[in-house]
Structure 1
Amino acid sequence: MTTSRLALRRAIDIDSIALSQLSQQTWRETYLEDLALPIPEHDVEHYFRTNKSPEWYATKIADPLGATWVIEDKVNDEMVAFLILGQSEVPHPEFCIGKDGHIEYLYVRRDRQSQGIGQQLMNVALSWMEEQFPARPVWITTLACNLKSQKLYMHYGFIKVGEFYCNVGDTKRHFFIMRRNNHLS
């Protein structure tokens, strides 16, 4: 996707700081503000240090088995969305490590939602998954209370196939596991 204003491209190593900042901003907007999850600030900060740091993103960008894309606003010279794909494990008995792909993160900044950016990233994700994991299922996880993301994923043929819990610090979060058969168009 390239318009006069927005550009889609693969992330490069120097993007790790901007990705960290964008993910923290979007995470706060989505989970703390929009969904009003009661997560204490010390747990949020710990999560950011371990799962949203520039070093964490540098590792994802460099992963030869994954792919990271960003969408930039060229006018404002800022990142507005990103997508991380890979093979990180999904806690489901049918997930096959090394054979199945996982859409790990798809974040769109709140002020850029409902502009087709999420759909553009999903199209990129599904195309890449078909190339990397032909005829294999594609997996994604989402918070059980995040109905907006679930609606997007269901539009692309994902169905709920399980659930699990994980913690942000001491705060337990409930997730849905969703799967899409990759041969769908």
Structure 2
Amino acid sequence: MTLTPDSISIRKATPADAVPMAELGGATFTETFGHLYPPEDLQNFLATSHTPESWARSLNDPTRGVFVVEHQSGRKIGFIAVGACKLPVENLEAQAGEIQQLYVLAEFHNLRLGRRLMDLGLEWLASQGRAPLYIGVWSENYGAQRFYERYGFSKVGEYGFPVGKTVDREFILKR
């Protein structure tokens, strides 16, 4: 598939996108992190976090913005989900926002899609009056940490992120 600026669009996902978003969410998570987990932990996580039902709830939530990168063929290749902060932050500010998920399929990395999604997510959070902003990022995902640092985020805490019985060490970044 060839990508040109004219061959892709980014739009707000709707509840009608629940099935393809579940597929894309599961595929991008597995592609990025699947090698870290025993198969049963990965399947347990995907069966709860990336189902059409879980995505339908998310896409129907007016306090959440989900934006999807779509090729003109209809294939979904990346997304960002933003909304109210759900991270375990002490003394969390009432209007705090969060970059909850930002994924692009690996074959489409280095096309600046992550930057375009991030800019759109930040713009949406600002339009909702969300500040300050937080992100949870895997402690060993150095590329993502550098990306978020370029946007002014810095580490303020840590927490455990469960994937099945495995618990990842996650950093909490704030801007």
Q: Which range, TM-score by smaller chain?
A: over 0.9
Deviation of 1:3 (Å): 3.2
> TM-score scaled by structure 2?
0.93
Task: Note if 1:152 corresponds to 2:147.
Answer: yes
Alignment of 1:66-145 (within 5 A): 66-74=64-72, 76-96=73-93, 98-133=94-129, 136-145=131-140
CA distance in 1, matches of 2:85, 2:44: 21
Cα displacement string for residues 120-164 of structure 1 (whole angstroms, at most 9, x for unaligned residues)? 011011111111125x21111010011111111111111111111
Q: CA RMSD in A?
A: 1.4
2:50 to 52, 57, 80: 52
Task: Note if 1:174 corresponds to 2:165.
Answer: no
* Runs of 4+ off more than 4 Å: none
Deviation of 1:88 (Å): 4.2
Cα displacement string for residues 54-105 of structure 1 (whole angstroms, at most 9, x for unaligned residues)? 111111111011111101011x320000111111421111422x41111111
Contact 1:162 1:178 in 2 (8 A): yes
* Structure 2 residues not aligned, in runs of 5+: none
Q: Which residue of 1 aligns with 2:9?
A: 7
Contact 1:142 1:176 in 2 (8 A): yes
Contact 1:89 1:95 in 2 (8 A): no
Q: Which residue of 2 aligns with 1:31?
A: 33
1:61 to 59, 62, 79: 59
Q: Helix, strand or coil for the counterpart of 1:102? A: strand
CA distance in 2, matches of 1:165, 1:176: 9
Contact 2:84 2:96 in 1 (8 A): yes
Q: Helix, strand or coil for the counterpart of 2:56? A: helix
Deviation of 1:167 (Å): 1.7
Number of aligned positions between the proteins:
172
Cα displacement string for residues 11-34 of structure 1 (whole angstroms, at most 9, x for unaligned residues)? 0112111111111111111112xx
* Structure 1 residues not aligned, in runs of 5+: 181-185
> TM-score scaled by structure 1?
0.88
1:19 to 1, 18, 21: 21
**What is the percent sequence identity of the aligned residues?**
30
Q: Which residue of 2 aligns with 1:183?
A: none
CA distance in 2, matches of 1:130, 1:12: 20
